[in-house]
Amino acid sequence: MNLTGNLLIGASEVPASEGTMKALNPATNQLIEPDFAFGGVADVDKAAKLADEAFDHYSHTSLAERSAFLERIADNLDAVSQELAARATLETGLPEAQLQGEAAKAATQFRQFADVVRKGRFLQLAIDPAQPDRQPRPRMDHRLQKIAIGPVAVFGASNFPISYSVAGGDTASALASGATVIVKAHNAHPGASEIQARAIRQAVQDSGLPEGVFSMVRGGGNAIGEALVDHPLIKAVTFTGSEQGGMALYRRAQLRPDPIPVFTEMTSVNPTFILPQALAARGAQIGDGFVERMLVNVGQACLKPAILIAVDGAGFEALRAAMVKRVTDAPARPMLTPGIHGAYLSGLDRLQSTGANLVAVGSVAHADLDGRSALLEVDGQRFLAENALAHEVFGPAGLLVKVKDETEMFAVARSLRGQLSATLHLEEADLDLARRLLPVLERRTGRIVVNAFAHPQEVSFATIHGGPFPASSDSRFTSVGMTSIERFLRPVTYQGFPDALLPEALRELNPLGLPRSVEGQ
């Protein structure tokens, strides 16, 4: 595919209005062709107006038509998957085989959402029929369905350049809900973003849908993102990235004359607790597995296990030695951007200046943006005294927290902020302790894993990728999995409607054959 670097606003190719950028190959620290356009507030306005104009038509497409559209996007992604993975590799330094897997996952997500749409359960249809003879007051007919919230702005993530980016789960779930979408592409992978955007746009055209169903904008600095969040025609925002960026956009949206929901997925250290019998039985194995997962994606993963908590006792030294070995043997690998690399180095400094000891480092960095793996250690008392130790360092580093007893382990668990996931390693004899720890963890996390690690994640009906703040800004929702569609839906009641005026899904004879609750049954 010939990359033009243009913004793709509806069917238009829009050249730069606010300068250009080139992609950076983080493995070589060299810029890659071509130039990519930066747009401005006027481009956001054009995309938002098109998204608004397209909304009434698109949100009323039949379930069959919408699922066919989502499947067409999946087919288009499959058709460009080799090229997409190759370009994403150049722009991120991540292994090509991994990115081929991501491209396949992105296409699969669209197919999964096509199935969700076809089955119609997400509409949550409910009917409370009229009761004209009810005493003391008759009841009118009430029927409920969920509809799409309106045009959605999606901020693509930097670290998974396909499956959480332009054609990622946020775009797939928003389009599945019937919302129109404007993606703010992440500047860490502009070429991969364009390939994905063209695959989606081609599906819009081939499906005969209005051009405003999908647009992609890009900008330098905060102005373009702020314009998206401020635009009166945008009705919801999704964001994956830093706590600072996510909260800036969240607060901004609450200051609008008409505040809108902003679903941010921000930061998590995914604490891992090794219970005493598991530590004694398999300390070395767990330590090795922890570091292996910690290093996936050069530690630039939302589910990276970053903090491991274990009681000093049988198995602790074996655990520690296995972690030290894995970290020491790990080669340095390129990190995604100069900004992320710089933040990693400052994060390591922060951990050490607040009391953690560096106990192992990986092999020397060769390229400018290589991230060298690191293991730090701290005792429970120090961890509890210093909040900064519990904050994420995005990159290939982990912190081993040595607690002196069970009471201190509970205190550490209670001190943690909201998390995407927490993990327990346990044996049969640890079950009583695990039962007592569970309520503490449930309050603080969206997912609890036993005897494994949370990464990689399933995209399924039971998947939750979210959690209490600061893991996300709204712990009631997930950003991954089939129920992520719920972020973009709102309920509408149709009261006293003649059958012919009702949405098809709510008509008396149930012409679409969809699951519906009647009188709550």
Mapped onto helix, strand or coil, the DSSP state of residue 180 is: coil
Show the DSSP H helices in 131-208 as ranges: 169-177, 190-206
Sequence-ordered strand ranges (E) for 38-128 = 126-128
Q: CB of residue 339 vs ligand NAP: minimum separation in angstroms?
A: 6
Residue 302 lies near ligand NAP (rule: CB under 6 A): yes
Active site residue 71: no
> Which one, of 21, 196, 156, lies nearest residue 479 by Cα?
156
Q: What are phi and psi of 236, to 5 degrees?
A: -165, 155
Beta bridge partners of 145: 492
Residues 143-182 that bind ligand NAP (CB under 6 A): 155, 157-159
**Inter-CA distances, 425 with 315, 422, 465, 499, Å:** 13, 10, 20, 56
Site mask for ligand NAP (CB under 6 A), range 338-367, x = bound: --x--x------------------------
Quick one: 72 or 465, whose CB is closer to ligand NAP?
Answer: 465
Catalytic position from the list 265, 377, 392, 408:
265
Q: Which of 26, 40, 169, 225 binds ligand NAP (CB under 6 A)?
A: 225
Please identify which of the residues 194, 302, 377, 392 carries the catalytic annotation.
302
CB 14 within 8 A of CB 40: no
| String of contacts with ligand NAP for each residue 245-284, x by CB under 6 A | x--xx---------------xxxx----------------
The residues with which 333 forms a beta bridge, in sequence order, are 371
Exactly one of 205, 222, 353, 357 binds ligand NAP (CB under 6 A); which one? 222
Retrieve residue 422's tokens. Answer: 């927490």
Choose one: 30-38, 93-101, 234-242, 503-511; the region binding ligand NAP (CB under 6 A). 234-242
- Residue 450 parent element (H or E): strand 448-450
Is 226 tagged catalytic? Answer: no
- Binding segment toward ligand NAP, per CB under 6 A, in 67-75, 80-88, 169-177, 235-243: 235-243
Q: Which two three-digit tokens encode residue 177?
A: 């809900």
Q: Cα torsion at 32, 33, 39, 44 (round to 10°)?
A: -80
Q: Which is nearer to ligand NAP, 179 or 454 (CB)?
A: 454
Distance CA 416, CA 373 (A): 24
CB count, 10 Å around CB of 512?
17
Any contact of residue 187 with ligand NAP (CB under 6 A)?
Answer: yes
- The site that binds ligand NAP (CB under 6 A) totals a number of residues, namely 25
Residue 155 vs 290, nearer CB to ligand NAP? 155
Amino acid at 272: T
Q: Could you tell me the smallest distance in angstroms from the CB atom of residue 302 to ligand NAP?
A: 3
Tell whether residue 392 is a contact of ligand NAP (CB under 6 A).
Answer: yes
Closest contact distance (angstroms) between CB of 322 and ligand NAP is 27
Which residue lies nearer to ligand NAP by CB, 195 or 217? 217
**407 Cβ partners below 8 Å, 6+ apart?**
none
The secondary structure element, H or E, covering residue 272 is: strand 272-274
Residue 126 pairs with which residues in a beta bridge? 144, 517
Sign of the torsion angle spanned by Cα atoms 240, 338, 99, 47: positive
Given the complex with ligand NAP, which of 248 and 512 has the nearer CB atom? Answer: 248
**Residues whose CB falls within 8 Å of the CB of residue 502, separated by 6 or more in sequence, listed in order:** 143, 494
Q: Choose the binding region for ligand NAP from 62-70, 75-83, 118-126, 240-248 (rule: CB under 6 A).
A: 240-248
186 counts as binding ligand NAP under rule CB under 6 A: yes
- CB 141 → ligand NAP: shortest distance, Å? 45
Which residues are at the interface with ligand NAP (CB under 6 A)?
Answer: 155, 157-159, 184, 186-187, 222, 225-226, 240-242, 245, 248-249, 265-268, 302, 340, 343, 392, 394
Which amino acids are annotated catalytic? 265, 302
